[in-house]
Amino acid sequence: MATTQEQKATPNILNNTTTTTSSWADPLRNRPSVATVISAVDSFSDPPPNTTSTTKGIPVMTRAQTCHPLDPLSAAEISVAVATVRAAGATPEVRDSMRFVEVVLVEPDKQVVALADAYFFPPFQPSLLPRTKGGPLIPTKLPPRKARLVVYNKRSNETSIWIVELREVHAATRGGHHRGKVISSEVVPNVQPPMDAVEYAECEAAVKDFPPFREAMKRRGIEDMDLVMVDAWCVGYHSEADAPSRRLAKPLIFCRTESDCPMENGYARPVEGIHILVDMQNMEILEFEDRKLIPLPPADPLRNYTSGETRGGVDRSDVKPLQIIQPEGPSFRVNGHFIQWQKWNFRIGFTPREGLVIYSVAYIDGSRGRRPVAHRLSFVEMVVPYGDPNDPHYRKNAFDAGEDGLGKNAHSLKKGCDCLGYIKYFDAHFTNFNGGVETIENCVCLHEEDHGILWKHQDWRTGLAEVRRSRRLTVSFICTVANYEYGFFWHFYQDGKIEAEVKLTGILSLGALQPGESRKYGTTIAPGLYAPVHQHFFVARMDMAVDCKPGEAFNQVVEVDVKIEEPGKNNVHNNAFYAEEKLLKSESEAMRDCNPLSARHWIVRNTRTVNRTGQLTGYKLVPGSNCLPMAGSEAKFLRRAAFLKHNLWVTPYVPGEMHPGGEFPNQNPRVGEGLATWVQKNRSLEEADIVLWYVFGITHIPRLEDWPVMPVERIGFMLMVFHSKLAYFIAILSVQK
């Protein structure tokens, strides 16, 4: 993630810094104490700078370093990391066969982040670190940044993980010279890494060039291969035939009707009855069978999503312009990747797998100062299982983060953005499969939104009324995975709420029907065309830190259910109900499901911080609409997605526990890898560094109105202040009406 710009509608307002992709903690490290970190960091120090200032007797650097430890990797850093790994290849053949699946930041320990925020980067916050006798020894330099690379060897079909220390990154421009150092490398056996866009394009070309496939398409009346679309889908894991000893895909085939119409909706004409298995390592067709001749659906005049005139209709002309203007500019402030708005502050990052990451979320609460809420927020996985047992739909169980990458499929919002007003954009940098650096310009959008009424009251005696409008800050990105679009949003509110929202749109994944046929497991949406039932599941990982400084582990989770009081002396009128709390003491107790009948929610509270009435402070997770998998317990995809079996999981923070289905879900033969395995340790949660894993989803029964493009559907959840009594009313009462 890198260069940023601000825009008001279309004009540029200001340009900002450059930096890139971020990812996750190094699983090889233990968590050191703050004192250990300070002393270790000092060992990297150059001679102290000539200019320092003093704050309450503590020397502080007057000029911050250029890269915060959580800043995404820059394009230069990615280039250095790739060059370092490639140079470390044992032979020219090994180097030539390296394919770079992912290059991400090794996120440092929380104490290193605290050190950086305390003494190296504004706003300098020494209170983040505990006081030590004689004052802390302040280093003059932070540890070098590190990159983590997932490398696929196309010759040997091996996947390896490399850790590279990044030193003089600026030297990468000097004729290819680089200053990186390989810290570690290891081959990970029995896995397949995510697929890449380069492989998808090569797979499409290989299938189109395969003579039996061309003959099968000719049987269906198609001889122009430019009309054919080949979408390579990962095979998942259904039997030993799908084992990761081979890199496999089973493509889905579609066919357009016009070669000179680039905006035609090719997904409107699925080609069924053809079975193809592709070796993605060697781009060879391993299996091919034309099993059943199903006619192509007729060209539906409503299939396209272009202007109405191109589809035999007209666009609406009765919608008047609606302008969003901010004549004095935005209320947020941006310094690199550090955001400040309405007492909130946080950092943003971006990874190829998760997309947008929110770090170090805190609220400035009057005399109480900076109150931490969360260390890291992101969407770490999503799964889309289909409910049609017929071929090929039963195999459609996409892990869109782990098999593809939400971040790598993100849009440049230059091509269409749903944000209005003053907008701050952030670019994102990635490695491509061959090791080059690609940039998605305007990838992340930051802007403010009016959100209706925040509060209102009218006194019926006096007739006097007071009302305040709500403003929220939104950070978002949008990605396309084959036919579907997903928008991921984090909203920050003036009353201390945080809302996570996913917007689903795009084109349905369809199947073809024989004349007169209908399907029990889908909806007929056009002649010869049906949309199978399916579900979308998302996993939000929330590394919480409610009123906890780095290094503190003082959080716990309680479940709250509303109970009806039993009839008797305490409920003589049979109207009584109350909220009952249950402490989730261990991981086995914390595998929980939503229950709207009891208004169930969960509270992350600090065990050592109380409000003015003596109650423990906290944040509560309030579910939105939700569901669980409709598949049977023995469904094949649940081997890899055991985390879908519950809506909430809670674990203590452990570096490296990042992906609920394991790091490599593609063709994964191991049952329950990831979250379902970690919780078997049944670690204590009574007072811990808490990580919430919230699984939420939607069951999609397609409608005619979902064709040709599905209107946006929204799902999500809220994190709400609970007993923390932030001082927001002081600000809100003075907000302009």
Tell me, what amino acid is at 627?
C
Q: Which of 117, 388, 400, 543 is the catalytic position?
A: 400
- Tell me the percentage of the chain whose pLDDT exceeds 70: 87
pLDDT at 11 over 60: no
pLDDT at 561 over 90: yes
Predicted local confidence at residue 62, as pLDDT:
36
Q: What is the spatial distance between Cα 482 and Cα 20, in angstroms, rounded to a whole number?
A: 25
Q: Given pLDDT bands bounded at 50, 70 and 90, which one contains residue 69? A: very high
Q: Please name which of 444, 374, 314 lies closest in space to residue 618, comparing C-alpha atoms.
A: 374
Predicted local confidence at residue 158, as pLDDT:
98
Q: Which range in 418-422, 526-530, 622-626 is most confidently predicted, on average pLDDT?
A: 622-626
Residue 257 phi, psi (nearest 5)? -110, -20
Average pLDDT of 138-167? 94
Residue 452 belongs to what H/E stretch? strand 437-458
Average pLDDT of 19-47? 38
Q: Which tens digits make up the pLDDT trace of 331-354?
A: 999 999 999 999 999 999 999 999
Q: What SS3 state is found at 78?
A: helix
Compute CA distances 582 → 391, 602, 609, 695, whole Å. Answer: 46, 9, 19, 20
Compute CA distances 546 → 12, 47, 619, 621, whole Å. Answer: 38, 38, 7, 12
Average pLDDT of 422-427? 95
Q: What SS3 state is found at 7?
A: strand
Q: Given pLDDT bands bounded at 50, 70 and 90, which one contains residue 216? A: very high
Instruction: Give me the DSSP letters along 611-653.
Output: -TTSPEEEEEEEE-S-----S-TT-THHHH-GGGG-SEEEEE-
Average pLDDT of 89-114? 96
Q: What SS3 state is found at 225?
A: helix
Q: Which tens digits make up the pLDDT trace of 632-651?
A: 999 999 999 999 999 999 99
Q: Which tens digits make up the pLDDT trace of 277-291?
A: 999 999 999 999 999
Q: Which tens digits make up the pLDDT trace of 441-476?
A: 999 999 999 999 999 999 999 999 999 999 999 999
Is 486 catalytic? The answer is: no
Predicted local confidence at residue 315, as pLDDT:
83
Q: Which tens digits make up the pLDDT trace of 356-415?
A: 999 999 999 988 889 999 999 999 999 999 999 999 999 999 999 999 999 999 999 987
Q: Which tens digits make up the pLDDT trace of 308-338?
A: 777 777 888 899 988 889 999 999 999 999 9
Predicted local confidence at residue 1, as pLDDT:
64
Q: Which of 200, 237, 422, 484 is the catalytic position?
A: 484
Residues in the chain: 737
The two three-digit tokens of residue 545, written as one number: 């830190």
For residue 190, the number of C-alpha atoms closer than 13 Å in the C-beta half-sphere is 7
Q: What is the spatial distance between Cα 654 and Cα 605, in angstroms, rounded to a whole number?
A: 19
Among 50-64, 592-606, 613-627, 722-736, which stretch is predicted with the lowest mean pLDDT? 50-64
* Cβ neighbours around 610 below 10 Å, total: 14
Predicted local confidence at residue 177, as pLDDT:
52
Q: 63 vs 392, which has greater pLDDT?
A: 392
Cis omega before residue 372 (within 30°)? no
* Cβ neighbours around 597 below 10 Å, total: 8
Q: What is the mean pLDDT of the chain?
A: 88
The two three-digit tokens of residue 17, written as one number: 């810094």
Q: What is the spatial distance between Cα 640 and Cα 629, in angstroms, rounded to a whole number?
A: 13
Q: What is the spatial distance between Cα 61 and Cα 49, in angstroms, rounded to a whole number?
A: 8
- Residues with Cβ within 8 Å of 60's Cβ and at least 6 positions away in sequence, in order, are 52, 53, 54, 119, 124, 126, 138
Q: What is the spatial distance between Cα 679 and Cα 574, in angstroms, rounded to a whole number?
A: 41
Is 400 catalytic? The answer is: yes
Q: 31 vs 71, which has greater pLDDT?
A: 71
Q: What is the spatial distance between Cα 186 and Cα 103, in angstroms, rounded to a whole number?
A: 15
Q: Which tens digits make up the pLDDT trace of 577-618?
A: 999 999 999 999 999 999 999 999 999 999 999 988 899 999
Can you give the pTM of this predicted structure? 0.90
Predicted local confidence at residue 169, as pLDDT:
59
Q: Are strands 180-188 and 12-15 parallel, antiparallel or unpaired?
A: unpaired
Q: What is the spatial distance between Cα 339 and Cα 426, in angstroms, rounded to a whole number?
A: 12
Q: Which tens digits make up the pLDDT trace of 700-718?
A: 999 999 988 999 999 999 9
pLDDT at 29 over 50: no
* Cβ neighbours around 659 below 10 Å, total: 23
Residue 577 phi, psi (nearest 5)? -150, 160
Tell me, what amino acid is at 336?
G
Q: What is the spatial distance between Cα 627 and Cα 394, in angstroms, rounded to a whole number?
A: 20
pLDDT at 79 over 80: yes
Q: Please name which of 535, 633, 636 lies closest in space to residue 236, comparing C-alpha atoms.
A: 636
pLDDT at 507 over 60: yes
Q: Which tens digits make up the pLDDT trace of 531-557?
A: 999 999 999 999 999 999 988 999 999
Average pLDDT of 159-174? 74
pLDDT at 724 over 90: no
- CB contact at 8 A, 371 and 496: no
Predicted local confidence at residue 725, as pLDDT:
59
Compute CA distances 71 → 67, 167, 262, 490, 617, whole Å. Answer: 6, 15, 38, 19, 30
